[in-house]
Amino acid sequence: MNIIAITSFKGGTAKTSTCLNVGSALAQFHKQKVLLIDFDSQANLTTGLGFDPDEQDSMAPVLQGEKSINDVILKTSINNLDIIPADAWLERVEVTGSLATDRYSHERLSQILKPLNYDFIFIDTPPSICWLTESALIAANNSMICATPEFYSIKGLQRLAVFINNISERHHITVIGIALSFWYARGKANEEFQKVIEDSFPGKLLNSKIRRDIAVSEATIYGKPVFKTAPNSRASKDYKNLTLELLKKCKPALHKGEKINGKI
């Protein structure tokens, strides 16, 4: 089972859109059984697939031991694609209930996911370094990092590299790739940005880049992936290519420990 944490150090990197559309592409075009976990209290992944976070249970009661994970898994409108929604309770879940007194609370998610039977599980993490992100990385065997060709986004990768390195000393985690969104091929600083990425995560920049496309934002209004609302858009093409690249990388990377700057 491929468990992939979708991570970013800051917001606005298309992290949630990448999670939603890559997961949907795997289910729709490659017949993979996919579970998306919205692990961000903003619940954008939840609303992006047409669910109201105020009307659904999140992973929070499961982490607290109050519900089974099967109680919170929902079917989506796409065959083979399920979701666990998010809600505001996730915001500080680690300091409430039984988690507050558990010194190993960040390992609970890993234990909860073990009995599940999916080809892929994607965990959409908050755009920050926090308990939720750490729990997701510990539960995952791979991480895909989202960034944009902008100064603050790229510089944030350096701090994220240190964070993942620290986790890798205790738990196996492989960075499967860096996905760039809002890509403009003629950007003047593209070469400099890609050099920073190479310095932080050598050899991890993915070839498939997601170009800026209003079709992605419009798709969220309808609570569907871009393939359903704008199948001929450039975003649809880009996410299909990214999904294919991810598929090629997943199996060989799954049991192979790799290093970032000599550490992972």
Q: Where are the domains of the chain?
A: 2-254
Cβ(13)–Cβ(127) under 8 Å?
yes
Record the tokens describing residue 127, joined without a space.
């755009």
Q: Minimum mean pLDDT among 71-75, 180-184, 206-210: which range?
A: 180-184
* Predicted pLDDT at 256: 39
- For domain 2-254, say whether CATH 3.40.50.300 is its number: yes
Element housing 36 (H / E): strand 34-38
Record the tokens describing residue 31, joined without a space.
């017949």
Q: Degrees (nearest 5) of the Cα angle 44, 121, 237?
A: 65
Query: CA 46 to CA 171: how far, in whole Å?
Result: 28
Cβ(52)–Cβ(68) under 8 Å?
no
- pLDDT tens for 191-203 read 888 888 888 889 9
Q: Which residues pair with 14 in a beta bridge?
A: none
- Mean pLDDT for the stretch of residues 260-264: 38
